[in-house]
């Protein structure tokens, strides 16, 4: 038998070849990791979500000290496969287009893949180099736009990944409110400077949304208030208007008010509010307030009688659906009378307050001893029962602040049959 040949040991060249391949693979892996790391840093998206300034008081303090503190809400979103770090950011600050100064922050924030990291930074800008002219321009613009300030931040954020430092451009342009979102009154006026009590006078209110980017929606209310001598003013009537105002939009609202005069009444003025916040009122001078001349008190107007008719026939009951006329005869006693009379047909209700059903107002001028008949027409709408008893008449003498009410009995009150 032949002996086999011994196997040949691996050559030195083969071993070196394997080491070389391994080193190449390690180098390729490291290079791929560094490339992914750089890509992760370069693909980070950084933006300013909002800027908050404390308020108008701080703007006035800024005018005095030339230093302004504000909050910046920053968002960094990772788009790459590896986590990186937001190391710092800095901005050039512009207010109303005027360069104010530079702010910066070095707060470290980890940015994870596919996630958004948010950071709030309180920054203070030193505007000591700002000229008085530019400062006046900023303040005037804010005043003209009801506390709305144009803010621009223009700068960069630094994203770090090992040895890589990537500078990401960031820009923010917006308008920031330094106070409540309210419209401005441009005009509020009566159509006349004076009138006699009992006359109806129109008024006009003009409001404008002076903001450049904020839309306003709310309830505008106009309160007509009675100006009383040696006593607090009191509301005479309120008008409400639901408005939506686009930036820069102007809106005019109107109304008509039936005047009156009582003891100590000087006149009436307008007060305007938005969602419960008072925007302003007319100054105490006459005009612009509405002066009301009361008729001289002389005789007295009294109710002589009151009754009901259907189709011209006096009745004490009516049927549902019939047209009923309420009659009130008044007479001047003791001299000439000029009176504003409101005649109200009211529902006589059980277990709850009575309600007005039909109302008419009359200006009555009579010489002593003369009489006048006042009428209110309505339709009987429901049958008398346990909760609704019927109808009755109530008369208000608005100038003299007196009231007359029909006797609480049936008749003279009106019952309604089905």
Give the model confidence (pLDDT) of 142-190 as tens digits. 889 998 999 999 999 898 887 788 888 999 999 998 889 999 999 999 9
pLDDT 10s digits, 104-121: 888 888 888 888 888 888
Whether 99 has a pLDDT exceeding 50, the answer reads yes
Res 37: pLDDT: 74
CATH topology of domain 42-177: Immunoglobulin-like (2.60.40)
The CATH number that domain 184-293 falls under is 2.60.40.10
Read out DSSP for 263-308?
TTEEEEEEEEEETTEEEEE--SSTTTSEEEEPPPP-SEEEEEEEEE
Residue 381 makes CB contacts below 8 A (sequence gap 6+) with 320, 357
pLDDT 10s digits, 119-136: 888 888 888 888 889 888
The CATH number that domain 300-417 falls under is 2.60.40.10
Res 1: pLDDT: 44
| CATH 2.60.40.10 location in the chain | 42-177, 184-293, 300-417
Report the SS3 class of residue 254: strand
Residue 197 makes CB contacts below 8 A (sequence gap 6+) with 259, 260, 261, 265, 292, 293, 294, 295, 340, 399
Q: Are 413 and 390 in contact (CB under 8 A)?
A: yes
Q: How far is Cα 20 from Cα 241, in angstroms, rounded to an integer? A: 85
The CA-atom distances, in angstroms, between 391 and each of 65, 383, 384, 386 are: 72, 11, 9, 14
Q: How far is Cα 146 from Cα 345, in angstroms, rounded to an integer? A: 48
Mean pLDDT of 220-242: 94
Mean pLDDT of 31-39: 74
Burial (CB count within 10 angstroms: exposed 0-12, middle 13-18, buried 19+), residue 385: exposed
Task: Tell me whether strands 337-349 and 355-366 are parallel, antiparallel or unpaired.
Answer: antiparallel
Classify the C-alpha dihedral 84-90-95-99 as positive or negative. negative
pLDDT 10s digits, 50-65: 888 876 666 667 777 8
pLDDT 10s digits, 185-229: 999 999 999 998 889 999 999 999 999 999 999 999 999 999 998
Residue 95 makes CB contacts below 8 A (sequence gap 6+) with 138, 149, 150, 151, 152
Whether 347 has a pLDDT exceeding 60, the answer reads yes
């Amino acid at each position: 038998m032949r002996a086999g040949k011994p196997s040949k040991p691996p050559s030195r060249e083969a071993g070196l070849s394997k080491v070389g391949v391994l080193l190449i693979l390690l180098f390729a892996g490291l290079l791929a990791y560094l490339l992914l790391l750089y890509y992760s840093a370069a693909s980070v998206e950084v933006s300013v979500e909002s800027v908050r300034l404390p308020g108008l008081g701080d703007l006035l303090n800024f005018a005095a000290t030339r230093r302004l503190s504000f909050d910046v809400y920053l968002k960094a979103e990772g788009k790459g496969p590896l986590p990186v770090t937001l190391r710092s950011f800095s901005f050039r600050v512009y207010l109303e287009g005027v360069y104010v100064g530079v702010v910066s922050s070095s707060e470290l924030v980890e940015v994870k893949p596919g996630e958004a990291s948010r950071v709030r930074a309180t920054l203070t800008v030193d505007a000591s180099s700002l000229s008085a002219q530019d400062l006046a321009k900023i303040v005037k613009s804010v005043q003209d736009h009801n506390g709305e300030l144009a803010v621009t931040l223009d700068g960069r954020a630094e994203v770090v990944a090992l040895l890589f430092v990537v500078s990401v451009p960031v820009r923010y342009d917006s308008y920031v409110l330094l106070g409540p979102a309210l419209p401005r009154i441009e005009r509020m006026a009566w159509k006349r400077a004076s009138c006699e009590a009992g006359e109806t006078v129109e008024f006009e209110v003009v409001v404008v949304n002076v903001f450049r980017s904020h839309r306003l929606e709310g309830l505008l209310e106009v309160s007509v208030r009675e100006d009383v001598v040696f006593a607090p003013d009191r509301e005479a009537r309120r008008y409400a208007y639901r408005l939506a105002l686009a930036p820069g939009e102007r809106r005019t609202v109107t109304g008509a008010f039936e005047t009156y005069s009582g003891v100590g009444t000087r006149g009436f003025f307008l007060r305007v509010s938005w969602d419960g916040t008072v925007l302003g009122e007319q100054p105490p001078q006459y005009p612009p307030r509405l002066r009301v001349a009361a008729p001289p008190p002389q005789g007295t107007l009294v109710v002589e009688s009151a009754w009901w008719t259907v189709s011209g026939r006096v009745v004490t009951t009516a049927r549902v659906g019939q047209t009923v006329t309420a009659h009130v005869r008044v007479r001047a006693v003791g001299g000439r009378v000029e009176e504003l009379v409101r005649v109200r047909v009211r529902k006589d209700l059980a277990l709850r307050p009575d309600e007005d059903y039909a109302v008419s107002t009359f200006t009555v001028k009579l010489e002593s001893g003369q009489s006048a008949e006042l009428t209110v027409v309505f339709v009987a709408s429901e049958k008398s029962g346990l909760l609704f008893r019927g109808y009755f008449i109530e008369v208000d003498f608005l100038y003299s602040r007196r009231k007359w009410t029909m006797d609480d009995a049936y008749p003279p009150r009106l019952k309604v049959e089905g």
